[in-house]
């Protein structure tokens, strides 16, 4: 833990830290339940390595998602480069209720419908542990090719994460996106890393979205990521489809949108993700 974290919390929130209790915080950060002397409880996290603006980027993404007024997003209470820290409102964890999944589906549809000014990010901040570029693009094929698949092909090649044939297949898919991607759509406001671990359910059964890699992109990307690792009920997808129907043929495009997260996991962890990436590529040949 950064020794400056308690001082930063106290300085930012105007109350001394009474206790810091470790909580689960992902694979790149140390996270805490911070109880303040005035009785408030907040979420605080820090890290000792990585991009200097890591938490400020996350804070900007959370604020951008929050401003849509669609899904429940924790309020940012503070973000700092030095010390590296992020402070958020505390969400008390509960259990799903009867309409938890349905409400999430409708909230996600509303979030995507809020739109984005471009594919990528206007602030050009990179996202994710591999610092993938988000420079603005005018179209989804341009963005997915130049900001996701080709950079990932390079990283996978340099690190030996994927065999040469898979690297070539990634490059070839990037050249065929106009034909593979379905009807053109305007950029959606994406969470960008929407797996079950980045959804919290509070004591009222409401879903909160955390740890985004927020950017403007194709809305099928979020939905494909959700299906990649599971953890979301069918009622969620049904409610989404009722509120914001997907274009015909979306089922055939799931593997296409899962390519980027699969390649990221192959680069980071290897193992079964290497084979899963190759299977997705084979389905697109």
Residues annotated as part of the active site: 193
Compute the half-sphere exposure of residue 62: CA atoms within 13 Å on the CB side of its CA: 23
- In angstroms, the Cα distances linking 231 to 7, 48, 169 are 37, 30, 29
Asked if 188 and 115 count as a contact pair (C-beta separation under 8 A), the reply is: yes
Peptide bond into 40 cis (omega under 30): no
* Terminal Cα-to-Cα distance of the chain (whole angstroms): 47
Q: Which of 80, 74, 90, 77 is nearest to 19 (CA)?
A: 90
Structure token pair of residue 180: 């593979």
- For 81-94, b/e burial (b = at least 16 CB within 10 A) is eebbbbbbebbeee
């Amino acid at each position: 833990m950064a020794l400056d974290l308690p001082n930063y919390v106290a300085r930012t929130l105007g109350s001394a830290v009474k206790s810091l209790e470790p909580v689960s915080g992902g694979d790149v950060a140390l996270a805490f339940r911070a109880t303040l002397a005035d009785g408030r409880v907040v979420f605080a996290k820090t890290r000792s390595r990585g991009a200097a603006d890591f938490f400020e980027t996350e804070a900007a993404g959370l604020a951008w998602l929050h401003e849509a007024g669609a899904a429940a997003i924790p309020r940012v209470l503070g973000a700092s480069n030095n010390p590296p820290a992020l402070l958020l409102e505390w969400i008390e964890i509960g259990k799903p209720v009867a309409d938890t999944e349905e409400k999430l589906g409708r909230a996600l549809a509303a979030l995507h419908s809020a739109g984005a000014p471009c594919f990528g990010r206007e602030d050009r901040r990179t996202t994710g542990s591999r610092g993938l570029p988000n420079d603005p693009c005018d179209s989804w094929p341009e963005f997915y090719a130049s900001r996701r698949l080709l950079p990932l092909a390079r990283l996978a090649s340099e690190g030996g994460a994927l065999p040469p044939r898979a690297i070539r297949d990634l490059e070839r898919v990037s050249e065929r996106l106009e034909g593979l991607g379905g009807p053109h759509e305007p950029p959606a406001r994406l969470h960008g890393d929407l797996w079950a671990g980045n959804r919290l359910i509070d004591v009222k059964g409401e879903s909160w979205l955390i740890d985004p890699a927020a950017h403007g992109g194709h809305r099928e990307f979020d939905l494909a990521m959700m299906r990649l690792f599971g953890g979301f009920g069918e009622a969620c997808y049904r409610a989404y489809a009722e509120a914001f129907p997907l274009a015909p043929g979306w089922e055939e495009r799931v593997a296409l949108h899962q390519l980027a997260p699969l390649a990221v996991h192959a680069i980071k962890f290897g193992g079964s993700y290497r084979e899963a990436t190759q299977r997705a590529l084979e389905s697109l040949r």
